[in-house]
Amino acid sequence: MNRTAIAGRSVLVTGGSGFLGCHVVSALEARRAGRIIVPRSASCDLTDAVATRSLFERERPEIVLHLAAHVGGIGANRRQPGTFFRDNALMGIHVVEECRRLGVQKLVLVGTVCAYPKFAPIPFRENDLWNGYPEETNAPYGVAKKSILVMAQAYRQEFGLDAVTLFPVNLYGPRDNFDLEDSHVIPAMIRKFVEARISGERHVTLWGDGSPTREFLYVDDAADAIVLAAERYDSPDPVNVGAGFEIRMRDLAEKIGRLARFTGEIVWDTTRPNGQPRRMLDTSRARERFGFTATTTFDAGLAKTIGWYEANREDILRREAERRKA
């Protein structure tokens, strides 16, 4: 197994100030990485080739973890499909090219479970990635991410770039995005249930009919998987990263409602889309290739996430109000 030492190395983390990124930075600090470089989107637009080249020329990283992405829930993907494809494809293309040009020692690319075909067999296995088209509401985002897997494999074959690609399931945890306009399902549910409890509302309305299933991975576990892959994995084969379970949306809602101490009724708006019918990953390759297994139980992770939202709720609402006024 080809090992890449983290201690003492300069590591560039694109998206390092985001939800997943800040947890990855903490994991790198625990492994005593030398210099951790976290570019801000306001000062470095990775969709711009010139800006990306300037960043790499200035920082000269030894290891790159590419987490930056333009992401959102079903609603955001439906509103901006072209933007989601363009931004995610361009960021990946520019980062991979600069890693090749400067001879970066290791590149870890983070894809998305949305890349899988809509009706892939359960559990999703990496060999199924190309056996159909992704679910329509987030296909542009998923295809853009999958195209960077192809680029990474081609660059490994032609240029010898040590680039590996991970496909994580939906993440959740403290510091997630709780804005209802573009949040994912767990933070959106947490916010709706907590706000309903505080305001005394007796109903919470959720999208779809509650029948789809999803798999969720606690963000600290995902961060550990990314760093482990940087240290231990060296292959063109994509790797699923998940917790190895699935839960129906209806059951998820009841669980979060209970943990958030909401005692009212859950109403399902069946005029809204369900998204992909089922999602669950086969996680055996991650365990076998670089020793990753999720360790956070779902109930424990949800409790931590709800507690974090409640503790930071006032700041979150204040910042949202300020953004909308600007």
| Residue 74 predicted with pLDDT over 90 | no
Compute φ and ψ for 205, nearest 5 degrees: -100, 130
| Residue 76 predicted with pLDDT over 90 | no
Reported as type and span, the H/E element at residue 219 is helix 219-232
- Per-residue confidence at 43, pLDDT binned at 50, 70, 90? confident
d(CA 28, CA 13): 10
Q: Which residues contact 197 (CB under 8 A, 6 or more apart)?
A: 260, 261, 262, 263
pLDDT given at position 273: 87
Please state, rounded to an integer, the average pLDDT across all residues of the chain. 95
Kindly list the domain boundaries of the chain, sorted by start residue: 10-315
| Residue 225 predicted with pLDDT over 60 | yes
Cut 0.85: pTM above it = yes
H/E/C letters for each residue in 242-281? CCCCCEEHHHHHHHHHHHCCCCCEEEEECCCCCCCCCCCE
| Residue 70 predicted with pLDDT over 80 | yes
Rounded mean pLDDT, 302-314 = 98
| Residue 107 predicted with pLDDT over 90 | yes
d(CA 77, CA 72): 6
User: Which residues are part of the catalytic machinery?
Assistant: 141
Rounded mean pLDDT, 202-221 = 96
For residue 287, the SS3 value is helix
pLDDT in tens, 132-180: 999 998 899 999 999 999 999 999 999 999 999 999 999 999 999 999 8
- Per-residue confidence at 2, pLDDT binned at 50, 70, 90? low
Domain 10-315 annotated CATH 3.40.50.720: yes
pLDDT given at position 7: 95
| Residue 1 predicted with pLDDT over 60 | no
Q: Is the dihedral of CA 134, 136, 138, 141 positive or negative?
A: positive
- Structure tokens given for 121: 């067999």
10 Å CB burial of residue 45 (0-12, 13-18, 19+) is: middle
Rounded mean pLDDT, 212-234 = 97
| Residue 252 predicted with pLDDT over 60 | yes
- Per-residue confidence at 73, pLDDT binned at 50, 70, 90? confident
